[in-house]
Amino acid sequence: MSVFQQPIRHFIKLSDYTYKLIKKCCNGDRVIDLLFHFPISIIKRSGDINNFKPQEKLTVVLKIINHVVPNRKGSPYKIIGQTDNGDLVTIIYFNYRIPYLKKIFLINERYTISGKAECNYDGIKIFHPDVVASPSMLKYYIGVEPIYPLVGNLTNKTILYVINSILKIIPKDFDYLSPEIKEKYQLPNFFDSLVNVHHPKGERDLMDNFIFRKRIALDELLANQIRLRQLRENIFEHILPKFEKRGVLLNKLNLPFELTEDQKKCIKEIEQDLCSGHAMNRLIQGDVGSGKTVVAFISMLIIIENGFQTAFLAPTEILAWQHFETIKKLSKSLNIDIDIMVSSNRKARKKQIQDLQNGITQILIGTHAILEENIEFMNLGLVVIDEQHRFGVMQRISLIKKCKYPNILAMSATPIPRTMVLGCYGDLDVSVIKNKPASRIPVETAVMNISKIDELVTRLKKMNTQIFWVCPVIEESEDLIDVNTRCDYLCKVFSEDNVKVLHGKMKAIEKDFIMHEFNHGKFKVLVCTTVIEVGVDIPNANVIVIEHAERFGLAQLHQLRGRVGRGNQKAYCILVYHNHISEIGKQRLQLMKSTNDGFILSEEDLKLRGAGDILGKEQSGFHSLRFSDFSNNYNLLTIAEEISQLIDIHSNSTKDLLNIFNRISEEYVV
């Protein structure tokens, strides 16, 4: 095991308490976890008493000569100190406990003191110093101090100490990129990059475009690219049987609607893949509500007819249950075995695993629970991945490893350019569903200011429809409206029984219950976070209100809007903005109003917000990445792709690289 993978306790002595805090703070206790815990800001400390700048803290060694106890309540406490040159400095406290101050500042003792300072007619003052240390510590408190994200009682000093100790033990010449590649792309060394990231010299060294931070971001993208290549190798090393038997199930299938032309075309392309003798690696891109699920279902039937099992992976539990219900309904007359595996039905797991291993279960629908190691299939022949962008490449690999024959059908509602497809998913074939079912009436979108909320709810109350009401946050915050506050308000208008809350921090079982009740029309208003963003299909909900709409990306707003207008009633999307909205913000909301076409929206968003910004981390499958996303690393992605072609992906240095970036992201929680 390399130094990077080892726990820090192998190198540094810390109390259990501190160790736990650090582990929590850095998302792990491996050396690499600490090295990848980057500073977020800096404090500049100056040692020059005659010439410090207002934004800097002043650090001096002072001999304490007097305590001035205030004679009135509310007046500051003053401690007078003197430098070795004889300059007087006053230390000032507004909040204080006298015994405490008397104890830490002993008369005639010398201390290193640092804090925000001021120099005016009545001399130099230091307010509430954040450093009171022995005189020998002076040199450590002059210069630039990096400030790290912290948790609990952990201090910056501790984390600074640990990280600097670790920087001393890691090998200086370690690098998985060859000198030639670094030369070609003008990249700094791995070690130098870490050292410089942790020793910023100014604000600019905290930015993503700081060359040393860029190197780490590039490495991460590179690791991702290499995994995508490995994924592809995994898929294509197999020669597959041709899945040609056709008829038994497909002929019996009785759909409640006629397939659209695009759906038919898509199914045809999938059939061709499956009959080719090579693995399928196909992405269906279709706008929200274009009917991708039924296409996936028919593909699964082809596999089942040929005697194989299929798995259907969904990003959230709500969605998994919904697919389960839909597919059960669609396959009513077909007599196939369908099972659902999510973390909340863990109790059933033993029997479920048996049924999978014996080949009884033909369709397994589920969330990340399917990816666990002990879940094995008898003969898995097709994997469907819904809302593909929600899954990282590691997750896809773990699913494909379970396949006897790795056919992959990925689905995504986010239309993205080809380069981005390559970057996110690797090289795959794409089918597009452009047109929605003809029966659909387009959703009407309105944009309004929060000041009109009373009018809005009065009108909504008169309408006979269910309503999604989306808020940006779960907990009360200073400038954003949260689900509970909004729920209280709506309860007054609609009555308590008619308003319920749903968000990602609730237990899965609670969420399901509420979704189930909402789906069956038991209550009227669902106040929620973007937990409902992906795929949720409730035909009786015809209104969605989105608060702080200015805070959401266009792709996300479009996804949310796609939650309504799924039945045959006219539907409305109301984008509510709060007061601080920029010009571009307004333009973006107007754009939402002017079109229902997800492809146009993403193109326009691109123009308005600049390259790459169109996809947030979550939207791009890049949420498993820490240091890079499209908004600032579009060029890096191209370089990462190039480098991944130049290096041997099975070499030891590549293994080192992959080990360093080996975290699989947690289940996505809004």
Instruction: Give CA–CA dist 285/357, Å, rounded.
Output: 32
Q: Does 259 bind ligand ADP (CB under 6 A)?
A: yes
Output the CA angle 379-365-513, nearest 5 degrees: 160
Q: Does 315 bind ligand ADP (CB under 6 A)?
A: no
Q: Does 260 bind ligand ADP (CB under 6 A)?
A: yes
Size of the site for ligand ADP (CB under 6 A): 19
Smaller CB separation from Mg ion, 269 or 387: 387
Instruction: Give CA–CA dist 83/97, Å, rounded.
Output: 25
Instruction: Give CA–CA dist 409/428, Å, rounded.
Output: 10
Query: Contact region for Mg ion (CB under 5 A) — 94-102, 377-385, 528-536, 548-556?
Result: 528-536
Q: Does 236 bind ligand ADP (CB under 6 A)?
A: no
Q: Does 390 bind ligand ADP (CB under 6 A)?
A: no
Dihedral (Cα; 263, 264, 270, 272), 10-degree rounding:
-160
Closest distance of CB 544 from Mg ion, Å: 16
Instruction: Give CA–CA dist 650/226, Å, rounded.
Output: 9
Closest distance of CB 289 from ligand ADP, Å: 5
Residue 257 interaction partner, one of ligand ADP, Mg ion, none, beta carbon < 5-8 Å per kind: ligand ADP
Q: Does 388 bind ligand ADP (CB under 6 A)?
A: no
Query: Contact region for ligand ADP (CB under 6 A) — 176-184, 220-228, 289-297, 513-521?
Result: 289-297
Half-sphere exposure of 585 (CA within 13 A, CB side): 15
Q: Which of 115, 315, 535, 562 binds Mg ion (CB under 5 A)?
A: 535
Q: Which of 270, 288, 340, 443 binds ligand ADP (CB under 6 A)?
A: 288
Query: Contact region for Mg ion (CB under 5 A) — 21-29, 277-285, 533-541, 567-575?
Result: 533-541
Closest distance of CB 390 from Mg ion, Å: 11
Q: Does 621 bind Mg ion (CB under 5 A)?
A: no
Pairing of strands 41-46, 143-147: antiparallel
The CA-atom distances, in angstroms, between 462 and each of 2, 456, 492, 538, 605 are 66, 10, 15, 20, 35
Instruction: Give CA–CA dist 665/25, Å, rounded.
Output: 16
Give the chain's radius of gyration (CA, Å): 30
Residue 260 interaction partner, one of ligand ADP, Mg ion, none, beta carbon < 5-8 Å per kind: ligand ADP
Smaller CB separation from ligand ADP, 290 or 633: 290
Q: Does 257 bind ligand ADP (CB under 6 A)?
A: yes
Output the CA angle 316-319-323, nearest 5 degrees: 140
Burial code (b: 16+ CB inside 10 Å, e: under 16) for 229-263 equals bbbeebbeeeebeebeeeeebeeeeeeeeebbebb
Phi, psi torsion values for 369, nearest 5 degrees:
-55, -30
Phi, psi torsion values for 71, nearest 5 degrees:
-95, -5
Smaller CB separation from ligand ADP, 408 or 658: 408
Residue 294 interaction partner, one of Mg ion, ligand ADP, none, beta carbon < 5-8 Å per kind: ligand ADP
Smaller CB separation from ligand ADP, 32 or 319: 319
Which residue of the chain is nearest ligand ADP when measured via CB?
Answer: 291
Grouping H, G, I as helix, E, B as strand and the rest as coil, residue 553 is: coil
- What's the token pair of residue 655? 């293994």
Query: Contact region for ligand ADP (CB under 6 A) — 246-254, 284-292, 510-518, 648-656?
Result: 284-292
Smaller CB separation from ligand ADP, 524 or 563: 563
Q: Does 439 bind ligand ADP (CB under 6 A)?
A: yes
Smaller CB separation from Mg ion, 286 or 426: 286
Q: Does 47 bind ligand ADP (CB under 6 A)?
A: no
Q: What share of the chain is helix, strand, coil (3-state, %, to 5)?
A: 45, 20, 40
**CB within 8 Å of 221: residues ≥ 6 apart:** 423, 625, 628, 633, 636, 637, 640
Q: Does 437 bind ligand ADP (CB under 6 A)?
A: yes
The CA-atom distances, in angstroms, between 421 and each of 286, 392, 427, 439 are 14, 13, 8, 31
- Report DSSP state, residue 408: E
Q: Does 286 bind Mg ion (CB under 5 A)?
A: no
Closest distance of CB 654 from ligand ADP, Å: 37
Between 190-198 and 211-236, two packed helices, what is the crossing angle to 10 degrees? 130
Q: Which of 23, 45, 292, 402 binds ligand ADP (CB under 6 A)?
A: 292
Q: Does 394 bind ligand ADP (CB under 6 A)?
A: no
Q: Does 315 bind Mg ion (CB under 5 A)?
A: no
Closest distance of CB 323 from Mg ion, Å: 8
Instruction: Give CA–CA dist 444/417, Å, rounded.
Output: 27
Q: Does 39 bind Mg ion (CB under 5 A)?
A: no
Smaller CB separation from Mg ion, 81 or 535: 535
Burial of residue 57 (number of CB atoms within 10 Å: 0-12, 13-18, 19+): buried
Q: Does 565 bind ligand ADP (CB under 6 A)?
A: no
Query: Contact region for Mg ion (CB under 5 A) — 28-36, 344-352, 418-426, 531-539?
Result: 531-539
Output the CA angle 641-225-28, nearest 5 degrees: 135
Q: Does 563 bind ligand ADP (CB under 6 A)?
A: no
Binding mask 535-554 for ligand ADP (x = CB under 6 A): x-x-----------------
Q: Does 253 bind ligand ADP (CB under 6 A)?
A: no
Smaller CB separation from ligand ADP, 602 or 654: 602
Residue 48 interaction partner, one of Mg ion, ligand ADP, none, beta carbon < 5-8 Å per kind: none
Query: Which segments of 618-666 does DSSP mark as H helices, in order?
Result: 630-646, 652-660
Interacting residues toward ligand ADP by CB under 6 A: 257-260, 263, 286, 288-294, 413, 437, 439, 535, 537, 566
Interacting residues toward Mg ion by CB under 5 A: 535
